[in-house]
Amino acid sequence: MPVKIPVRAEYNNSGSPTGLSEYQSDEYIGSLYGGTGQNTYSNGEILIGNSSGTLTKNTIQGEVGKITVTNGNGTILISLDSNLGLSSATSYTSGTVRVPSPNAVSELNSSITNGGTGYSDATNVSTTGGTAGSSGLTVDITTTDGVVTGVTLKNNGAGYAASDIITITGGNADAQVTVQTVVTGGLSVDGYGNLSHRAVNASVGGTFTTLGNLEVLQELKLDANGHVMETNRELINIRNGIQLIEENDNKYLQSDGQDIAMAIALG
């Protein structure tokens, strides 16, 4: 349906209506009578109520040094002033927590079950077989005359069981290895962001090491209005295991390892 032009009454010099006609391009209905009181707008202008009970057209204003407003053709973009030294929020990653997947392969049998044929040296080679639902196990292989002579774990996968027969892809798809041990338990994060340690099945053997990274907020740099301009962080990297020690009703994190890197200079 095409755009319609409203009509308005024509009045004589005595103020009496004499007929109807279309609105002209420079005419408008005042806000007191339900109109906008305006007939043209510039980029970014909107109608804002005023103390007279009518409407005023104006643009949104930003506070200098804090908020910038960019008015475009039918658009209004509000953003942080670049002088604040801030950028869009991004995820902050500090260190790595290694979480064993349920029933991940921790060790393969040192004796290759079947060397197979037609293989060549390769890394991150996918595999098939294993307990129903298992997946993700990859290996690095070394070969001699097409026969697999060495297998090293690459990705531990999940869902496997001890004594699973694993087939290495590639070649003639006939090389096989046997799972020696798997690991269960380990660190996990619940839906509320809580980090917990599930029980480890020690009966499967293997060595378990906890890696810990502690982040320290060393310094905040603020502007004259108290806005954060810059943050300085330092990491304490604790290797070879950490444990919780209680002494005289106080709790401490302690590492028995000798390799503790502390890059902290507290001012």
Q: SS3 for the chain, per residue?
A: CCCCCCEEEEECCCCCEEEEEECCCCCCCCHHHCCCCCCCCCCCCEEEECCCCCEEEECCCCCCCCEEEEEECCEEEEEECHHHCCCCCCCCCCCCCCCCCCCEEEEECCCCCECCCCCCCEEEEEEEECCCCCEEEEEEEEEECCEEEEEEEEEEEECCCCCCEEEECCCCCCEEEEEEEEECCEEEECCCCCEEEECCCHHHCCCCCCCEEEEEEEEEEECCCCCEEEEEEEEEEECCCCEEEEECCEEEEECCCCCEEECCCCC
What percentage of residues in the chain have a pLDDT greater than 90? 21
User: How high is the pLDDT of residue 267?
Assistant: 30
Residue with tokens 């991940």: 104
* Bigger pLDDT: 205 vs 130: 130
Average pLDDT value for residue range 15-37: 80
Beta bridge partners of 150: 142
Average pLDDT value for residue range 187-202: 55
Question: pLDDT class for 266, splitting at 50, 70, 90?
Answer: very low
* Bigger pLDDT: 125 vs 17: 125
Structure tokens at 106: 């921790």
* Bigger pLDDT: 201 vs 51: 51
User: How high is the pLDDT of residue 4?
Assistant: 79
Domain boundaries, the chain: 104-183, 212-262
Least confident of 208-212, 218-222, 251-255: 208-212
* Bigger pLDDT: 40 vs 267: 40
Question: pLDDT class for 62, splitting at 50, 70, 90?
Answer: confident
Question: pLDDT class for 165, splitting at 50, 70, 90?
Answer: very high
Beta bridge partners of 186: 198
Task: Check pLDDT > 70 for residue 128.
Answer: yes
User: How high is the pLDDT of residue 123?
Assistant: 94
Average pLDDT value for residue range 162-191: 83
Highest mean pLDDT: which range of 100-114, 186-200, 212-226: 100-114
Average pLDDT value for residue range 220-247: 69
**Mean pLDDT for the chain overall:** 76
Question: pLDDT class for 256, splitting at 50, 70, 90?
Answer: low
User: How high is the pLDDT of residue 196?
Assistant: 58
Q: Are 132 and 164 in contact (CB under 8 A)?
A: no
Distance CA 262, CA 218 (A): 13
Q: Which residues contact 153 (CB under 8 A, 6 or more apart)?
A: 105, 107, 108, 137, 139, 140
User: How high is the pLDDT of residue 119?
Assistant: 96
* Bigger pLDDT: 105 vs 211: 105
Task: Check pLDDT > 70 for residue 80.
Answer: yes
Residue 83 phi, psi dihedral angles, 5° rounding: -65, -15
User: How high is the pLDDT of residue 229?
Assistant: 75
